[in-house]
Amino acid sequence: MGLKSQSIKGFVWTTVEKFGNRVLSIFIFFLLAKLLGPKAMGEVIVINSIIAFVVIFIDQGLTTAIVQKDKVDETYLDTAFWGNMGISLIFGLGIFLMSPYVAKFYEAPALANYLRVISFSFLIGAVSRVQNALFIKEMKFKLLAVRRLISTFVGGAVGITMAFMDYGAWSLIWYQLSMMLVMTIILMIQSSWRPGLRFSWEHYIELLKFGVNVLGNNLLFYAQNHLVNLIIGKYLGMVEAGYYGVASKVYVSLKDMIINTFSKINLPIFAQLQNDKERRVQVFQQLTNKVLFFIFPVSVILAVLAPDLIHVFINKEEWIGSIPLLGWMLLACAFTVIPSFANDFLLGVGKASTSFRLNLTSTIIYLISLIIGIQFGLIGLAMAVTFNNIIAVPVALFFLGGVMEVQWKKLILIHGKVLLASALIAGTLYAFNYLYEGYNYLLLSLKTILAGASFLASLYLFYPELIEEIKPHIQRLLLKRNHVVTKS
């Protein structure tokens, strides 16, 4: 199968995974938020941020190293498995023992037991980490998509059941543990690879050397995505952490569904094109243009509909404080395309050190923004995230310019078109809000339909070539469906 066919197939199944899983997980998250309240959500969000920090050191860039390496032998994979298992055991034990001190630091005694239980997730994840990397390397995204959807459904069922039985924050803890356990079981069943008893210090040192820059990148990503949760939990309180967590959940879900859908296939694609300079630049440009024309309008639509989302899906007075945060976070998401794709490009062509410098610069700007923003409370923090994402675009292009020729005129033109399209959609929705006030399922449905129609109209006006590119694929799907119906 050629690279283009692999890419299209990978994109389709990655889209199924991202959209299906995120839609399902958002539904579960909103339902749990409604049942549990901001304080319980805030406690688990703080715990997740602590766990995410530890996972950075456990992974050690292992997945990226296996995907990026041209050829991997059995000894290399066995070394990766046992090295990762040992690190997972050490850090899991460390979190278990440190949990009382973390709870004391946050003045939240319940955190101790939550951390003790969830520390077992490190070993669960280590069992299938190598298999997961192999499936990504081989671009077998169908299995990964099915695995994610099944595990989210099972974990959600466990969490919601426990929430209805008044288990509080434990509902979220067991939701995540159940989901990880199911993912691991499915992957172990489907994978033919099994670890042997081989271990090579030479291979392990090679993994560590590659992982140094990846580890640095992951630490910087952590600072930009999780550090704020820890700061809010400590200095503003668990309720405020819950508010920010809801806004952040929608932000991360949107980014995951649109940007990370492409990012997941970007790394293996750019890795295969690392010796074809002209083609890799062309692919980068094409992907950037397409994703920009989706993420900007969708972000604007959701930002305008933020009050509707909270009032309709949670519908509790205690969650109203998250509405302005949600609007700002959604706007911030619109500016994450180029920084994310630039990082994928740099890692894919083996420029991990350049990727690290890019993310280090962005993180320094972010931390400065964060220090200023926290002086103004939660809204200030949300505005700081938005400001950082805007500044991150020219920063990413600057570092990217050292590796490839940046087509500035085309980028400026596409951004101008995207901004006009987004303004058209936002104006249409605000006009509807002016005419029809209130929050209910009917109005939200009408606004969603109107937003979709406005989005299609903006594509025809500002990006008709994308419509022409999509048409043949839609026609083939319709013909295939009609053929199946006729045959049956």
The reply to whether 374 falls in a domain is: yes
Is 143 found in the same domain as 27?
A: yes
- Looking at residues 188-212, what average pLDDT do you find? 80
Does the model's pTM come out above 0.85? no
d(CA 296, CA 424): 12
Phi/psi for 436 (5° steps) reads: -130, 105
% helix, strand, coil for the chain, step of 5: 85, 0, 15
Q: DSSP class of residue 275? A: T
Is 3 found in the same domain as 56?
A: yes
Cα pseudo-dihedral 172, 178, 181, 185, rounded to 10:
-150
The reply to whether 221 falls in a domain is: no
Number of domains in the chain: 2
Is 58 found in the same domain as 87?
A: yes
Domain boundary among 161, 188, 212: 212
Q: DSSP class of residue 374? A: G
Is 267 found in the same domain as 202?
A: no
The reply to whether 359 falls in a domain is: yes
The reply to whether 218 falls in a domain is: no
The reply to whether 73 falls in a domain is: yes
Which residue range forms the structural domain that includes residue 14? 1-212
Most trustworthy range by pLDDT among 92-101, 348-357, 359-368 = 92-101
Domain boundary among 212, 235, 253: 212
Tokens 């009917």, located at residue: 442
Confidence of residue 395 (pLDDT cuts 50, 70, 90): very high
d(CA 256, CA 224): 15
Is 12 found in the same domain as 109?
A: yes
Residues whose CB falls within 8 Å of the CB of residue 458, separated by 6 or more in sequence, listed in order = 297, 420, 421, 422, 424, 425
CB-facing half-sphere around the CA of 97: CA atoms within 13 A:
6
> What's the whole-number average pLDDT of the chain?
82
Tell me what pLDDT residue 9 has. 52
The reply to whether 201 falls in a domain is: yes
Is 424 found in the same domain as 307?
A: yes
Range scoring the smallest mean pLDDT among 19-33, 288-302, 316-330, 413-427: 19-33
Is 115 found in the same domain as 242?
A: no
d(CA 278, CA 204): 34
> Between residues 147 and 329, which one has the greater pLDDT?
329
CB-facing half-sphere around the CA of 260: CA atoms within 13 A:
14
Confidence of residue 100 (pLDDT cuts 50, 70, 90): very high
Residues whose CB falls within 8 Å of the CB of residue 70, separated by 6 or more in sequence, listed in order = none
Is 241 found in the same domain as 207?
A: no
> Between residues 200 and 215, which one has the greater pLDDT?
200
CA distances 442 to 164, 257, 269, 311, Å, are 27, 25, 43, 13
Confidence of residue 485 (pLDDT cuts 50, 70, 90): very low
> Between residues 273 and 321, which one has the greater pLDDT?
321
CA distances 355 to 64, 218, 226, 252, Å, are 13, 11, 20, 21
**Could you tell me if 331 and 386 are in contact, meaning their C-beta atoms sit under 8 angstroms apart?**
yes
> Between residues 454 and 219, which one has the greater pLDDT?
454
Is 306 found in the same domain as 238?
A: yes
Tell me what pLDDT residue 70 has. 67
The reply to whether 219 falls in a domain is: no
**Could you tell me if 96 and 119 are in contact, meaning their C-beta atoms sit under 8 angstroms apart?**
yes
Phi/psi for 429 (5° steps) reads: -70, -40
Q: What percent of the chain has pLDDT over 70?
A: 87
Is 180 found in the same domain as 48?
A: yes
d(CA 281, CA 278): 5
Domain boundary among 212, 247, 266: 212
The reply to whether 217 falls in a domain is: no
pLDDT digits (tens, 9 = 90+) for 103-144: 999 988 989 999 999 988 888 888 888 888 877 777 666 777
Structure tokens at 202: 């030479």
d(CA 54, CA 69): 25
Is 398 found in the same domain as 336?
A: yes
Is 163 found in the same domain as 291?
A: no
d(CA 294, CA 191): 34
